[in-house]
Every structure is written in structure tokens, then in C-alpha cells.
Structure 1
Amino acid sequence: MRVLIFIAYFIVSLTQTSCKSQKQGIVEEESQNDPRITLVDSDDYSGFYEAETMVIRDMKSLSKFYSQVNKTRKPGLPVPTIDFTKHTVLAICAGEQKPNSKMVLFYGKEEGNRLKINMKVKKSNALNEPEITVISYPFYIYTIPFTDKLIDFQYSE
């Protein structure tokens, strides 16, 4: 009987610590070069099947974005807490992506009332990885210092 209780306790504790929806906080992106851009959240499934970029300037819009992302999740991903007086949120839905690729953002030119954000897909350089045919539809939530400028997104190679 004690063995069964121990096994049940082990399984419950394992699922609680491994469940991604229980994890909160800021996710660090090791390949990000610009310290003004911070990756806050990302996941391999966004619910958006086409590439889409969004500038989010208030909590209501961020919650609406996460309601779309969480439509097929139980429990859903938690909405990050953002201070919109200090930060502007950039939501990037990358569309169809192959495995081992990450979206990275860089500041571009600032001209008048416009700010360019360059986006680049970085692929893993692992030589010994087997070819995997899994397709994902990832999203990335980045913050930048607060700006009321119009933001133009540009893909770079």
C-alpha cells in the first residue's frame, strides 16, 4: 500500500514540476544580441497558421492575444505581467517553422515617427542532429522600451 502511495505522489509531483503552464517568469534568449529587446515568452504552438506580427500596448490586448493562443490548451499559458508604462510588447507569430529554429529581433533604423525592427530566423547549427520533419507554429513575446512610434517589421536573411 505504501508503495502505491509513493508512486502516486511521485507521478503527481513530476507532472507539477514539468508542466510548462506552471512555469512563470522571464525566459532568457541566449542568442539575442540587442539588450533593449527581451524575450518574455515563447512556445511552439501559437494557434496562428500564417506569419503575423503585432504591437501590443495594453494589458487587454495582451490578454486577447493569449486567449487565442490558449484556445486549445488546458490549462492555458499564463499571461505575463508587463508594465506598459515602461515597455511595449512585440508579439511575433512565425507561421510554419521547421524544428530547431528561433526568431530573433534586432533594432533597425529610427526615422522620424517610425522604428524598424528586423526579424531573423536562426537555425540550429548542430551537425549531428538527425533530420526531423516536425512542423511547428511558434510565437514569441518580446518587450522593448516604451515607444509610441509606428513599428515596422522587416524580415532579414
Structure 2
Amino acid sequence: MQEVDDKGMELILNETYSGFEQEDFFLIKNQKELNAFYGKINRTRKPGLTPPFIDFNMEMILIWCGDSTASNFANLELSENADYLQVQKLNEKNLKVAANQLVSPFSIYKLPLSAKSLKIKK
């Protein structure tokens, strides 16, 4: 499941239900924000998912949440320039689960910590 690109972006989780109705991206740089995100996605899960251990002194988390009509996980690519990090959504990855079982999917990526801002290119 883990994929690492040349910029150090590592896929750590793909799940089929986030509870979000609109596509969104989140950049998380501390444990409190990560726990809040997991609190939202675990509202309808029994048992809930456990947040991963992240060393926020060296790493940060990028989360992509698909909308309620998404039928695949997004394939994201990270690029960096002098002023910002840019995430671009590429073609979607096909899944082996039936489309009717995938509702508002989400993916969590681990990235090296950066003070640069994040821009999303769709």
C-alpha cells in the first residue's frame, strides 16, 4: 500500500469513507489537527481508525478527501519550487472494490516538514 514519490510523499492510508461531501485537501502539521480529522471520520465507524504516529518535528500530513460521487482514489503528485509546494491531482487509480462500496474516499500522505505554503492544482 505504501508508495513513495521522488519528493518524499508517502501514501500511508487509502480508505473508502471519510464522511466529506465535497472534495477537499488538508495539510496537517500537528497532532491536534490530525486527531480532529480522525474524530470526524470515526464518527460513523465502530471501531474507529487509529491515527498514525507522525513525528511532526520532521513530517507533515496531506489528506485528500473525495466527494460523495468519487469512484476512485486520487493519484497525487507533489512538486516544489522556491515559494511553495504544489500538489496536482492526476488520473485516478482504479480500485478492486465495487463502486457502490466507495463513498467519499480519502487518502493520507506523509511528507517532509516544510514551511512553504501548499497550492492545489486540479
TM-score range, shorter chain: 0.7 to 0.9
Q: Specify the alignment match of 2:103 in structure 1.
A: 136
How far does the alpha carbon of each residue in 1:109-147 deviate from its partner, in whole angstroms, 9 at most, with x for none? 4142x2211122424399xxxxx5515211111011110
Q: Specify the alignment match of 1:97 in structure 2.
A: 70
Which of residues 86, 90, 98 is equivalent to 1:120? 90
How far does the alpha carbon of each residue in 1:18-70 deviate from its partner, in whole angstroms, 9 at most, with x for none? xxxxxxxxx414xx644611011121000101101111000000000000000
2-side partners of 1:65 and 1:133: how far apart? Answer: 24
- Alignment length (residue pairs): 119
- Inter-CA distance 91–125: structure 2 relative to 1 (3 Å threshold): closer
- Inter-CA distance 39–123: structure 2 relative to 1 (3 Å threshold): closer
C-alpha displacement of 1:85: 1.0
* Higher fraction of helix: 1
Residue 73 of structure 2 contacts residue 106 of structure 2 at CA under 8 Å; is this kept in 1?
no
1:52 alignment partner AA: D
C-alpha displacement of 1:108: 2.6
The question of 1:43 aligning with 2:10 is answered no
Q: Specify the alignment match of 1:110 in structure 2.
A: 81
Gaps of 5+ in 1: 1-26, 127-131
Root-mean-square deviation (Å): 2.1
Which of residues 71, 93, 116 is equivalent to 1:149? 116
What TM-score, normalized by structure 1, do the two folds share?
Answer: 0.68
Residue 73 of structure 2 contacts residue 107 of structure 2 at CA under 8 Å; is this kept in 1?
no
Alignment of structure 1 residues 74-93 onto 2, 5 Å: 74-93=46-65
Report 1 or 2 for greater relative contact order, CA contacts < 8 Å, sequence distance ≥ 6. 2
Overall identity of the aligned pairs, in % = 29
Bigger radius of gyration: 1
SS in 2 for 1:65: helix
2-side partners of 1:140 and 1:125: how far apart? Answer: 13
What TM-score, normalized by structure 2, do the two folds share?
Answer: 0.85
